[in-house]
């Protein structure tokens, strides 16, 4: 029952677009207070976090349908610009795998931009398996010393400020005139401008 409860908590936290506690803090708590198997909770945490973030991105993608046609066109232009270079695709995968930034806003942006969620989610899962393993291993070795650290991380003003800034960035994403920006960058680089929509 504790494993199921932990899975549901992590799933719900990863459905939040902002201000949820980092998943690793929940895993460390489960390891220290509930004495759950470290390998099991790392795998469980990775699957629950991956599922929650994927569903969050799908929800953001459905919300995109409520935006005006011009906003959707801007987002499509941004998505095309991001995906037309292989290096950008690799950078996006790396960002989801190892980024220290809160992942909720990354998944909301991916949903709004209609990026391919499967490789991004798998990259996120692989990266989280590594980071969760490190956190749980450290917790196992230093149970007493981590108690105060967890409280500082979860309630840190810096942590809250970063999430507010990222949330604001995602909120303005549909309102940026990406077509105009891409046309200007194309003109400056000498590339032909992208074709205009009929």
In this predicted model, what pLDDT tens digit does every residue of 128-187 receive, in sequence order?
Answer: 999 999 989 988 876 655 555 555 555 556 656 666 676 676 666 666 676 666 667 655
60 inside domain: yes
Distances, alpha carbon 72 to alpha carbons 1, 79, 83, 112, 162, in Å: 44, 10, 16, 9, 26
* Number of CB atoms found within 10 A of residue 88's CB: 12
Q: How many domains does the chain have?
A: 1
40 inside domain: yes
pLDDT digits (tens, 9 = 90+) for 50-99: 999 999 999 999 988 777 777 777 677 767 666 666 677 787 788 788 77
198 inside domain: no
197 inside domain: no
Rounded Cα–Cα distance for residues 10 and 49 (Å): 6
Range(s) of the domain holding residue 180: 2-189
pLDDT digits (tens, 9 = 90+) for 37-54: 999 999 999 999 999 999
29 inside domain: yes
φ, ψ dihedrals at 68, nearest 5°: -70, 165
Q: Number of helices (H) and strands (E), helices first, in the chain?
A: 10, 0
50 inside domain: yes
138 inside domain: yes
8 inside domain: yes
């Amino acid at each position: 029952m504790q494993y199921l409860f932990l899975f549901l908590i992590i799933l719900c936290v990863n459905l939040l677009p902002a201000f949820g506690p980092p998943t690793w803090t929940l895993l460390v708590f489960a390891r220290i207070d509930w004495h759950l198997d470290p390998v099991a909770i790392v795998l469980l945490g990775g699957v629950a976090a991956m599922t929650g973030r994927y569903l969050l991105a799908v929800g953001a993608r459905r919300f995109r349908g409520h935006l005006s046609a011009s906003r959707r066109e801007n987002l499509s232009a941004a998505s095309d610009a991001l995906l037309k270079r292989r290096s950008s695709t690799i950078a996006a995968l790396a960002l989801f795998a190892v980024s220290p930034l809160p992942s909720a806003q990354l998944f909301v942006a991916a949903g709004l931009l209609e990026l391919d969620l499967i490789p991004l989610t798998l990259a996120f899962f692989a990266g989280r398996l590594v980071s969760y393993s490190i956190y749980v291993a450290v917790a196992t070795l230093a149970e007493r010393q981590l108690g105060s650290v967890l409280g500082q991380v979860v309630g840190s003003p810096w942590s809250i400020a970063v999430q507010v800034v990222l949330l604001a960035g995602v909120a303005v994403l549909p309102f940026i005139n990406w077509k105009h920006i891409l046309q200007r960058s194309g003109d400056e680089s000498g590339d032909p401008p992208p074709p205009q929509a009929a």
